[in-house]
Structure 1
Amino acid sequence: MTKLTPCHLLMLLCWICLLRPGTVLAAETGTEAEVIGVLYLRQQMPPKPVLSNVRAAPDNLGVAGALLGRDDNNTIARFIGQRFAIETFASADADQLLAAASQWIAAGNSFIVADLPTPTLLSMLQQPALRDRAVVFNATNKDDQLRQLHCQAHLLHTIPSRAMLTDALTQLLIKKRWQNWLLVTGLQPGDQLYATALQRSAKRFGGKFVDSRQWQTESDLRRSAQQEIPRFTQARDYDVVLVADEPGDIGEYLPYNTWLPRPVAGTQGLTATAWHWSIEQWGAAQLQNRFRDLHQREMAETDYAAWLALRALGEAVTRTRSPDRTTVYDYLLSENFQLSAFKGRALSFRPWNGQLRQPIPLVQPNAVVSQSPQDGYLHPYSTMDTLGFDRSEVKCSMSVGHTES
């Protein structure tokens, strides 16, 4: 039997209050529950050689959060005649993934959680059968182009974009008056995209790059960081070293090794992230404990984003009392949708690009430092819209999924 935590009991009480007078709970009638299926689709990427002591990602990264979200949904769903179920499919072959998605939708299902790179994700959504009959939650891909240039109808993003992360970090740096930055960039394509997002954030909030450096070699720094990093970071005076190194090839060696004694932020050091194991406020400790009990490890940001996808779906299905794809999707993008997610604010989707509005924790390896948006950054609708692409910056349409002229 599922153990009911205080959070589960509170959720149950809220939903019982929503039931019409005279409603009989499905758990009392013994009727067969309506199954709401979700496909977790993951593209397995070939491992790349690492140049630092970065810990390997867990095999169940992402899907572990989806499973917890399923269990949370079922705590309530079983009382109203519904049951959420997850199927997983993983492959390195994009064609196999597209075929699995097509078969899932052809079988009468509607919902997919995607752990896919941009080309595969866009190819999937270009298939007429999926574009017209699926709601896809992107739980892992932070690509800014998916939110600014390649919006797609029925594609929703629960993972923050790179722009949201760099905006969140920049707000704190400017608030602390650390305005002059040295930028250090790695060699990988994701590093360049993160650096581009940092440059956009600097222009938006008033940061200044006094110099920039790109790490040009693939040498292993585990034995030579104390000799190479100080020379590499010599520059005019700066307040912070900003690093764009998503794999962690060089960024892990920057703290305490820079030429000037300055903090490090970006992809290492002080980082902006969707979630961190040290978050305890707003009831988050019980979410962390439930995840740890279920999977015997800490909850990562990808797990949290997948959990958000399942919880957003569960909230929409329960509120509308319908698993119909169109009904659920319209409700998710409406002003009525609000999701409690242990961040101190109700989360909602931006109707102009499908991105989930959410506060962004700023953390060091073992503690939360702050959370953005920072005080003083205002917006006519929601201060969370100071993070990432606002409506006027988006050049694509959610209704048709093409770039506007």
Structure 2
Amino acid sequence: MHRIPLGLCAAALLAGPAAAVELSVHYLRQDVPLPPTLSNLDPQPEDLGMAGARVGLDDNTTTGKFLGHTYTLEITEVAEGEDLLAAARAALAETPYLLVDAPAADLLAIADMPEAAEALIFNVAAADVALRDAECRANVLHTLPSDAMRTDALAQLLVLKRWDDLVLISGTYPVDVAYADALRKSLRKFGLSLEAEKTWAFDADMRRNASQEVPLFTQDFGDYDALLVADEVEDFGRYILYNTWQPRPVAGSEGLSPRTWSPVVEQWGAAQLQSRFTDTIGRDMESKDYAAWAAMRSLGEAVVRTSAADLPTLRSYILGDTFELAGFKGRPLTFRPWNGQLRQPIPIVHPRALVAQAPLEGFLHQRTELDTLGLDEPESACTAFD
């Protein structure tokens, strides 16, 4: 286990005299071995997520430097096999504000520690729907969209394009299975259904024989409007495109994809955030980076608006009606008070351009159209926030 201290000053947009405020944040990352995949063309950045927290800290500094607010960020990486809960206990001894980059089970283990009872934990890595549902915790907020938010966004686009004859290929890893399950539920939610499904269980090297194997694998789908792919580990999806028996659109984890964030998003001031991130980090911002950035900025925004750093004040403000985060997605972002999920638009992209941004026109909601994405209040079994 190694710890990377990052002490920086932070602050706010408005100049003027104010009492000094100090806020300490800790980013806790559980290193998880990546599953073997067919291609290594897109290696995961070593600083994924952590880089977003750093840029969020820099933005807090720029935003409030005249208010005398001081922010510090410390990062702890826990290697596979080391004691994550011990690292969390040490972090909580220093600050109640944690950004946790860990699988769902580990996140819940941290949230349920006695030391975390008076903490505010931001989930920046786990997309599991259950964390926003029956397995929610009152001390956990989610800045990463759930699987359901992303698949709902895709389902809205399928409805808009009238692609209602759909088939699915799903991988076998747990994250693939979870994404496929979210896809099925989203299709039902918006009046669509799957005509056929297949499981990808090949272990052959598709780099050499995709053009022979994939057409045969997809031939018995017959005709359809679009082929959906559940391949969240990015194992086989790239080999499906342009190799199917029928020349049809591919969507989901590959092809036309709903993302938390993408370098191709340039509207709504997003290009400015992209440039700041690239200038600071030296690579494109990715979805986990955005989630960590949004967590840091949520805390910074709350400190600026309340001139406080104590947990009850910040938590109450963040979950309150007046909180808004400028998230470079075309509309203010807010937290759902019933399960702690950050409401946010979902860009639907291909590798070269933005195609659409959900919620799409025509999908209405009595509160906000953003609540058409993911678990709405009547759908969620979360009671921890009552």
Interval of TM-score (by shorter of Structure 1 and Structure 2): over 0.9
Take 1:225 and 1:179, find their aligned partners in 2: how far apart are those partners? 27
Q: In the alignment, what sits opposite 2:327? A: 341
CA-to-aligned-CA distance 1:272-293 (integer Å, 9 cap, x gap)? 0011111111111111111111
Deviation of 1:76 (Å) = 3.2
Matched, 1:388 2:374: yes
Deviation of 1:380 (Å) = 0.5
Matched, 1:217 2:202: yes
Name the stretch that deviates more: 94-103 or 228-237.
Answer: 94-103
Contact in 1 for aligned 2:338/2:385 (Cα 8 Å): no
Contact in 1 for aligned 2:339/2:385 (Cα 8 Å): no
Of 306, 313, 319 in structure 2, the residue corresponding to residue 320 of structure 1 is 306
Matched, 1:36 2:23: yes
Q: Which amino acid is the alignment partner of residue 323 of structure 1?
A: A
Contact in 2 for aligned 1:154/1:329 (Cα 8 Å): no
User: Aligned pair count?
Assistant: 376
Take 1:250 and 1:93, find their aligned partners in 2: how far apart are those partners? 26
Take 1:326 and 1:337, find their aligned partners in 2: how far apart are those partners? 15
Of 14, 18, 37 in structure 2, the residue corresponding to residue 50 of structure 1 is 37
Deviation of 1:250 (Å) = 1.4
Matched, 1:276 2:269: no
Name the stretch that deviates more: 50-59 or 60-69.
Answer: 50-59
Q: Which amino acid is the alignment partner of residue 103 of structure 1?
A: A
Contact in 2 for aligned 1:181/1:240 (Cα 8 Å): yes
Structure 1 stretches of 5 or more lacking a match? 1-7, 17-22, 27-32, 401-405
Contact in 1 for aligned 2:33/2:80 (Cα 8 Å): no
Q: In the alignment, what sits opposite 1:30? A: none
Matched, 1:80 2:67: yes
Q: In the alignment, what sits opposite 2:107? A: 121
Q: In the alignment, what sits opposite 2:217? A: 232
Matched, 1:146 2:139: no
Q: In the alignment, what sits opposite 2:289? A: 303
Where does 1:63-212 land on structure 2 (aligned, <5 Å)? 63-93=50-80, 96-107=83-94, 109-130=95-116, 132-212=117-197
Q: What secondary structure sits across from 2:207 in the alignment?
A: coil
Matched, 1:370 2:356: yes
Deviation of 1:180 (Å) = 1.1
Contact in 1 for aligned 2:21/2:309 (Cα 8 Å): no
CA-to-aligned-CA distance 1:63-105 (integer Å, 9 cap, x gap)? 1010010011112333112111110111134762211221222
Contact in 2 for aligned 1:43/1:94 (Cα 8 Å): no
Matched, 1:24 2:17: yes
Taking structure 1 as the reference length, what is the TM-score of the superposition?
0.90
Q: In the alignment, what sits opposite 2:235? A: 249
Deviation of 1:136 (Å) = 0.4
Q: 1:174 to 1:326 in 2, by over 3 A?
A: same
Matched, 1:329 2:315: yes
Take 2:379 and 2:57, find their aligned partners in 1: how far apart are those partners? 35
Percent identity between matched residues is 47
Deviation of 1:322 (Å) = 0.5
Q: What secondary structure sits across from 1:113 in the alignment?
A: strand
Q: Which amino acid is the alignment partner of residue 51 of structure 1?
A: L
Take 1:170 and 1:57, find their aligned partners in 2: how far apart are those partners? 28
Name the stretch that deviates more: 48-57 or 295-304.
Answer: 48-57
Q: In the alignment, what sits opposite 1:403? A: none
Contact in 1 for aligned 2:27/2:98 (Cα 8 Å): yes
CA-to-aligned-CA distance 1:280-314 (integer Å, 9 cap, x gap)? 11111111111111011111111111100000010
Contact in 2 for aligned 1:165/1:272 (Cα 8 Å): yes
Deviation of 1:216 (Å) = 1.9
Q: Which amino acid is the alignment partner of residue 387 of structure 1?
A: L
Q: Which amino acid is the alignment partner of residue 17 of structure 2?
A: V
Take 1:122 and 1:162, find their aligned partners in 2: how far apart are those partners? 18
Take 1:211 and 1:399, find their aligned partners in 2: how far apart are those partners? 39
Deviation of 1:398 (Å) = 2.5
Take 1:288 and 1:129, find their aligned partners in 2: how far apart are those partners? 37
Deviation of 1:149 (Å) = 1.6
Q: 1:93 to 1:223 in 2, by over 3 A?
A: closer
Q: What secondary structure sits across from 1:137 in the alignment?
A: strand
Name the stretch that deviates more: 373-382 or 81-90.
Answer: 81-90
Q: Which amino acid is the alignment partner of residue 139 of structure 2?
A: H
Contact in 1 for aligned 2:278/2:285 (Cα 8 Å): yes
Q: Which amino acid is the alignment partner of residue 307 of structure 1?
A: W
Take 1:398 and 1:220, find their aligned partners in 2: how far apart are those partners? 47
Deviation of 1:39 (Å) = 0.7
Structure 2 stretches of 5 or more lacking a match? 1-9
Q: What secondary structure sits across from 1:348 in the alignment?
A: coil
Take 2:330 and 2:76, find their aligned partners in 1: how far apart are those partners? 34
RMSD of aligned residue pairs (Cα, Å) = 1.7
Taking structure 2 as the reference length, what is the TM-score of the superposition?
0.94
Q: What secondary structure sits across from 2:363 in the alignment?
A: coil
Take 1:68 and 1:314, find their aligned partners in 2: how far apart are those partners? 12
Of 272, 275, 283 in structure 2, the residue corresponding to residue 286 of structure 1 is 272
